[in-house]
Amino acid sequence: MVFLITGLITTSWYAYRASQERDVAIEANRKMQLETDKAHAINEFLIDDLLSAADPVNGIGHDVTIVAALEASAKKIGAAFAKQPEVEVTLRRTIGTVALRIGSVERAEQEFRKTIELQQSLSGVTDTEVAETRERLGLALRMQGRLDDAITTFEQLVEFRRTRAEEDPVSLADALHGLASTIYRKGGAGSNERAELINREALAIYEAKLGPDHPSTLDSLGALSNALYSQGKIDDSLKSHERILAATIRQHGDEHFDVARYKHDLAVINMKVRNYTRAETLLTQTVDTMRSLAGEANPIVAKAIGQHGRLYAKQKDFGKAESYYVKALRIQREHLDPNHADLAWTLTYLARARTQLKKHDEAEPLFKEMYETAQVVRGKENKTVAIRLYDWARCLAAQYKYEDAEPKLREALRLFEIVFKPGSLSIDRGRIQLAACLTHLEKFAEAEPLLQTAYGSVTTADEPDSTTLEDAINALIELYEKWNRPADAAEWKAKRHAANLAEPTGESP
């Protein structure tokens, strides 16, 4: 009996094991067949739908763009793969990724959201696969300038990746990198400090798991360097970029796009510390390398040409700077989307150069265009948007268009108080410019407290800025003179003399 029972148990165990192995084999075959079907369906869709969009007879036409082809094909996916949701997931994620790369970011967002919805409805999809799509969604939101939504998406992604950090630390670093980059781009009080902390965590993971010279490590170090630069930690930023450049040259040699890119970034930092000779050498090398790799009329060449203009503007040669900006802008307008950040950058500095050259009428439409572009690219409550609105308003005031300038200066000051720390010089300058405008509009009672607040803020700063102090006092003198309060004007003239500050050279605009 014992032997019989033992035999039955043994036979049952082998039968159970054989059943398990059979089930595993069946499941493996099912997955293999599914992948085969997916590949066949995807290839068929790409040929019959996406590529056939260029068919001049049955498609959209021979001049179809990639964007138009994607739009036409995306509409057919739901019906074509209603019974194959796994295939639909793969296709939508692929189309979303292509759309992201070519700048069709709204289409990318739609595809990624639909992909996530489908993934969450399928039993065989893992949380990790959903997270990978969510990361791409975060990028699409960031590229649209919807930075708050993008930050929320990346924060959720970081929270999830932390639960898997032991098994996949690099994916956590990727999520941290995405979050830090978005926070840095949004700006605002404390954003650079927060971006620095998050970047340092990501960098530590990359260095430990991928090594000091891995491209992801160097990209993370570059992001950290940018956050340091924005906080005024220029020496630390310089050291980081020198390390990145040296590592990239070791990997690729001098004639490589990444080497040119890092030389460009390093040149910008050298301009900050007024090492103009080093900056010019780096920019010249950057332009030469990019021309040899990408051709003359290429947006990446234009960006380096624009920085060359910035180099001359830093040295007060605005005429020469203008010529470089114009050349860069000509290339960018031909090849870039109107809302592209690089084009907006060139517009900004060309407008400022023309302002310095007293070409205010030529500068004004540029300021308006780059402000509107910044709103689209970066969102409405952003440091860049605030500065560009402020520049536009000052240009209007310089042409004595005070009524047009006033509402823009009010909004710029409101934004400054959001995106800059309390006590920031930018806030004080915003107050001074708005008050000067109000003075010309004879709104004296409103201008006075703005100027007194600015003066108090500048004089109590740890390191008072003499230029801003001079502007505040001169604006107060002008206010009281126009307000017919000569005693108050005389009092501030005495303060100006005691501080050894200069009188204005003419009537303020």
Query: For position 87, what pLDDT does the model report?
Result: 75
Integer angstrom CA distances of residue 488 from 8, 471, 492, 495: 110, 17, 6, 11
160, 136: one domain = no
pLDDT digits (tens, 9 = 90+) for 183-229: 998 887 789 999 999 999 999 999 999 999 999 999 999 999 989 98
Of 252, 274, 303, which residue sits at a domain end? 252
DSSP string, 273-332: TT-HHHHHHHHHHHHHHHHHHH-SS-HHHHHHHHHHHHHHHHTT-HHHHHHHHHHHHHHH
81, 183: one domain = no
167, 109: one domain = no
In a domain, 402, yes or no: no
446, 496: one domain = yes
What values do phi and psi take at 296, rounded to 5? Answer: -70, -50
What values do phi and psi take at 500, rounded to 5? Answer: 60, 45
pLDDT band at 121 (very low <50, low <70, confident <90, very high): confident
In a domain, 112, yes or no: yes
In a domain, 347, yes or no: no
134, 57: one domain = yes
Burial profile 287-315: b = 16 or more Cβ within 10 angstroms, e = fewer? bebbbeeeeeeebbbbbbbbbbbbbbbee
Q: Looking at the 3D structure of the chain, how many domains does it have?
A: 3
137, 158: one domain = no
Position 281 pLDDT exceeds 90: yes
Collapsed DSSP state (helix, strand, coil) of residue 375: helix
Query: For position 37, what pLDDT does the model report?
Result: 59
Least reliable range by pLDDT among 330-344, 391-405, 445-459 = 330-344
Query: For position 427, what pLDDT does the model report?
Result: 95
Q: What is the CATH number of the domain that holds 245?
A: 1.25.40.10
- Contact status, residue 221 vs residue 238, Cβ threshold 8 Å: no
In this prediction the pTM is 0.60
pLDDT digits (tens, 9 = 90+) for 310-327: 999 999 999 999 999 999
Q: State the residue range of the domain holding 430.
A: 422-509
43, 92: one domain = yes
> How high does pLDDT run on average in the chain?
83
Of 218, 252, 286, which residue sits at a domain end? 252
What percentage of the chain carries pLDDT values higher than 90?
50
124, 31: one domain = yes
pLDDT band at 180 (very low <50, low <70, confident <90, very high): very high
Position 79 pLDDT exceeds 90: no
In a domain, 45, yes or no: yes
Integer angstrom CA distances of residue 353 from 301, 350, 395: 20, 5, 12
Of 232, 252, 272, which residue sits at a domain end? 252
125, 194: one domain = no
